[in-house]
Amino acid sequence: MPLTLSKDDYEEVVKRVDSLYADKANKDVTIRGAIEIVLMQMRHAPVDAVEKKLEMERTRKGWGF
């Protein structure tokens, strides 16, 4: 499932990213990671895959440093 951002998705993505950052636990999530998570949700990716991505972004596991 490609995680491409179309111009029709822009406003919805911005709202959802703002909502994601409203949770203080997500303060260290990169903007790229936040957009990927939101697009995964919008494309109806499995919940466990979204949660795994969010946890990886929060903890920076798998980043290689």
The DSSP annotation for 25-65 comes to GGTT--HHHHHHHHHHHHTT--HHHHHHHHHHHHHTTTS--
Nearest alpha-carbon partner for 37 in 62, 20, 15, 24: 20
As a whole number of angstroms, the distance between CA 10 and CA 19 comes to 14
Domain regions of the chain by residue span: 10-59
Q: What is the pLDDT of residues 3-41, one digit of tens each?
A: 677 788 889 999 999 999 999 999 989 999 999 999 999
Per-residue pLDDT, 6: 79
The model's pTM is: 0.83
Per-residue pLDDT, 2: 65
Average pLDDT over residues 28-57: 94
Per-residue pLDDT, 45: 94
Q: Is the pLDDT of residue 57 over 70?
A: yes
- Scan for tokens 């919940």, then name that residue: 47
